[in-house]
Structure 1
Amino acid sequence: MLGQFENHISNHFPFLQGKKLLLAVSGGLDSMVLVHLFQQLNYEIVVLHCNFQLRGLESFEDQQFIQEYSNTNAIPFVFTQFDTEAFAADCKVSIQVAARELRYSWFYEQLAIQKGDFILTAHHADDNLETFLINLSRGTGLEGLTGIPAQNEKVIRPLLSFSRQQMEEYASVNKLKWREDSSNASDKYLRNKIRHHLVPLLKELNPNFISSFEKTQSFLSEAQELVDDAAIMVYQQVAREEGEDIYFDLVRLLQLPNYSSYLYQWLKEFGFTAWDDIYELVTSQSGKQVVAPYFRLIKDRDCLILSPLPSQENQQEFEIESVESKVKFPLNLVFSTVSKIGVASNSTIFVDQDKLVFPLTLRHWNEGDVFQPFGMEGKSKKVSKLFKDEKLSLIAKEKVWLLCSNNQVVWVVGIRQDERFKIDPNSKNLLKIECIE
């Protein structure tokens, strides 16, 4: 196996040569084989171990075993201990999810501390098969069937092409010792049920099942690459990006026979899970939306708009103490006293300074806000009605700021000035207010 492994590294991970590698080691068969293989190839390695404290004394015996092996073989050893159950309870996640989050967060910390280049884990072909079957049993898209990636940013999994049987044979020949995790014997977890019952049956039906499975995954990965390429090409025709927002043209989208598949490919990375709701959104009325943890998808006339969820900034108010104030955030506002009225525009207004009560406030609009549009003396209008007339999307509305004096709207910034603060024949102090992008 050593020769095969050396060739595998040379062919698929040649960039590891001369790098400092941090090896994630649990003490089990696969991770101990991983350490031994890189020892034989004379790489610079550091052993990392996470003690999740889930199996009482056994967890600490694993830690001691790895530490003794590292010391005996003069390998740098770094470990940490987690209260995994408490973390899982606090975050309301499963033990498995908690362990994964804790593990990889710590690995990346160590990557910086140890000045390492890559993190290596001991996932192997049998792990890959189990993951495939778990995803298949739960229902998944094509990407869920392509298995564990051999590389994910700084995380490398160099044993994915090798089976557990190959590692057992290697360990036997090299007289390696390892620790057996007692929880692996339990059928409490789905992965263990698959490992103990389903995988042996598949191997019994086809002794070369692992090899056949690897070929199937290779074909699936190629199919996924084709899907990704098609998604990119269609995205360029259907989507346009404006700042943090992405607009999907529904007229063009609905011309595609499999538009829902494209939506899935484009949106899956944003944390959406309510796919039926998203597909229905295409034909819903304007204003409907589907929300993910950090993003939302909104139907707006002939568009779907993908946007980050509003921040707390939307609830804030900013005070402007006087005309001498320099306002740079959240808008760049410039106040200038002038002797005569110039050309007004969406970004520039002229007001009677004596009609203003300082401090002015700058805030987002609220439902129920009313103002008197410039040129409509004595007539009030809801700000929301102005937005409707301007055909603003929900996202565009949320980005509008109101400049207010004593709770009265002076300016719907960038859209319309208020009549009550306009300059009249009796005005003595003229003030120019500009919003500069």
Structure 2
Amino acid sequence: MNLLTKFTDHIKLKNGFTNQHQFLLAVSGGIDSVVLCDLFHKAKLQFSIAHCNFQLRGAESERDELFVKELAKKYEVDIFVQHFDTKAYAENNKLSTQVAARDLRYDWFRQLIAEGKASYIVTAHHADDNIETVVMNFFRGTGLKGLIGMDEHFQQVWRPLLGIRRKEILDYAAQHELQHVEDSSNASSNYTRNYFRNEMLPAIAQVFPQVVENLLKNIARLTEVELVYKQAIANYKKQLVEIKGKEAHIPILKLLKAEPVRTILWEILSEYNFTAAQVDEILKLMQADNGSYVESPSHRIIKNRNWLIIAAKKAEEISNFIVVEAQQKKVDFPGGSLQFEYDIPASHVTISADASVAFIDAHELHFPLLLRKWKKGDYFYPLGMQKKKKLSKFFIDNKLSLIQKENTWVLESNKRIVWVIGQRLDNRFKLQPSTGSVVRVKLISK
């Protein structure tokens, strides 16, 4: 079966798209997106083109833009072009170039959708891209979802070539004599994806020649496994969760008989913004005294006799809690924003007296962190002191005004205050002679 027939059959069988829909194709000018354009044209689907000029490769970026504009003329379709100062955005937000480009690209795509330019964004991701994603996710330590890879449909993004091998795309381009431009950075293994594409997967193929085909089969199997998993979790939730008004009630004895209890409990709790790191804490809660509870940014789970009760917190409480995940680069909160920089060698750090910057021993941090307003009873060990001090006493000693007190936030790790934001680091988190890796946190005030 030729690629065009496979493409059109897939649309009819699985997607139900017709020539009444308007699609916005993300086109770089590379061979994948060029073939995508030709398939849409020959399938008589209405489309326009969106091209991002990230201004990262000088004259080559300008060449790509001109090529895509000519492509739009060839197919007689509308084209939207956006220029980004990607380097500045990456530096300002402490992001890698790849992540910055992705964020900029999809933010613009969503804007075009919101402006009514199209109903769907279409990308040229194919099966080999998905394989690379799955392998990267495996080494990152993601769960079942990460081992399935990309979704063909995600919100308003559609990836119709996800079941197509790159060899089929190359053969189609050669057969139809389609011109394209080559991104010179694809040959470099400095980028994570390129390293897996150019170095790791070819090395594995030397030992397991069928690695790509086997991974595609695994993706198909695990996609079906996820369906079974979701069905099983839905059944457990139906058996274990009783909704009473605005609360969710879980019978402890019944929950403890469920297997595997940790996974089932996590699937229930994730809907209420609890983190995977809190599951063990909530398992201990079942043996705790009545009235004991564990909090997420939006909910409390309370032990009440033989029940766990999940209840929403008050609106004013919710606004005072923000979860900070591992490797998160920026967090906005009412007092401004925090910018995080990770994996800094301690030997490269020069500590200053700037109260808006905290250098923290990475070994002492346990993610996710909690960014919250201080509350009565809070205490910490002020930098340079071996004894704990209540924050209320710390504020008095430092002559803070009532407004300053009310606007004080703290960064918390595993129920220990790490930093009274913009004021004092906790002594337990300071850099030591043994410190290897450092996390730098900077407060950007409003």
| TM-score (ref. length: structure 1) | 0.64
> Residue 122 of structure 1 contacts residue 159 of structure 1 at CA under 8 Å; is this kept in 2?
yes
1:119 to 103, 107, 121: 121
Correspondence 1:279-428 to 2 at 5 A: 279-284=280-285, 285=288, 287=292, 289=294, 291=296, 295-296=298-299, 298-301=301-304, 302-303=307-308, 305=310, 307=312, 310-311=315-316
Cross-structure match for 1:277: 278
SS in 1 for 2:284: coil
Cross-structure match for 2:216: 214
SS in 2 for 1:305: strand
Deviation at 1:202, TM superposition (A): 4.3
Q: What is the rounded CA distance, in whole Å, between the counterparts of 1:189 and 1:308 in structure 2?
A: 43
2:44 to 28, 42, 45: 42
Cross-structure match for 2:81: 79
Could you tell me which amino acid in structure 2 is paired with residue 289 of structure 1? V
Cross-structure match for 2:134: 132
SS in 1 for 2:82: strand
Identical counterparts, % of pairs: 35
**Residue by residue, what CA displacement relative to the aligned partner does 1:289-329 show, whole Å, maximum 9, x if unpaired?**
354xx5455444442536468447989xxxxxxxxxxxxxx
Deviation at 1:30, TM superposition (A): 0.9
SS in 2 for 1:282: helix
Deviation at 1:246, TM superposition (A): 4.2
> Residue 278 of structure 1 contacts residue 290 of structure 1 at CA under 8 Å; is this kept in 2?
no
Taking structure 1 as reference, are residues 80 and 312 closer, same or farther at Cα in structure 2, changes over 3 Å only? farther
> Residue 19 of structure 2 contacts residue 44 of structure 2 at CA under 8 Å; is this kept in 1?
no
Cross-structure match for 1:195: 197
Number of aligned positions between the proteins: 315
Could you tell me which amino acid in structure 2 is paired with residue 279 of structure 1? D
Deviation at 1:11, TM superposition (A): 2.1
Pick the structure with greater CA Rg: 1
> Residue 298 of structure 2 contacts residue 318 of structure 2 at CA under 8 Å; is this kept in 1?
no
Deviates more, 1:120-129 or 1:146-155: 146-155
| TM-score (ref. length: structure 2) | 0.63
Q: What is the rounded CA distance, in whole Å, between the counterparts of 2:197 and 2:125 in structure 1?
A: 14
**Residue by residue, what CA displacement relative to the aligned partner does 1:265-303 show, whole Å, maximum 9, x if unpaired?**
334466655x23322322144555354xx5455444442
Cross-structure match for 2:14: 12
Cross-structure match for 1:389: none
SS in 1 for 2:257: coil
Taking structure 1 as reference, are residues 297 and 138 closer, same or farther at Cα in structure 2, changes over 3 Å only? farther
**Residue by residue, what CA displacement relative to the aligned partner does 1:358-400 show, whole Å, maximum 9, x if unpaired?**
xxxxxxxx969xxxxxxxxxxxxxxxxxxxxxxxxxxxxxxxx
> Residue 51 of structure 1 contacts residue 63 of structure 1 at CA under 8 Å; is this kept in 2?
yes
> Residue 23 of structure 2 contacts residue 46 of structure 2 at CA under 8 Å; is this kept in 1?
yes
Cross-structure match for 1:185: 187
SS in 2 for 1:254: helix
Cross-structure match for 2:154: 152
> Residue 228 of structure 1 contacts residue 265 of structure 1 at CA under 8 Å; is this kept in 2?
no
Q: What is the rounded CA distance, in whole Å, between the counterparts of 2:164 and 2:122 in structure 1?
A: 15
Q: What is the rounded CA distance, in whole Å, between the counterparts of 2:313 and 2:180 in structure 1?
A: 47
Deviation at 1:167, TM superposition (A): 1.0
Cross-structure match for 2:71: 69
Cross-structure match for 1:399: none
> Residue 250 of structure 1 contacts residue 282 of structure 1 at CA under 8 Å; is this kept in 2?
no
Q: What is the rounded CA distance, in whole Å, between the counterparts of 1:264 and 1:112 in structure 2?
A: 35
Q: What is the rounded CA distance, in whole Å, between the counterparts of 1:97 and 1:270 in structure 2?
A: 28
Q: What is the rounded CA distance, in whole Å, between the counterparts of 1:44 and 1:13 in structure 2?
A: 15
Q: What is the rounded CA distance, in whole Å, between the counterparts of 1:306 and 1:89 in structure 2?
A: 41
**Residue by residue, what CA displacement relative to the aligned partner does 1:385-437 show, whole Å, maximum 9, x if unpaired?**
xxxxxxxxxxxxxxxxxxxxxxxxxxxxxxxxxxxxxxxxxxxxxxxxxxxxx
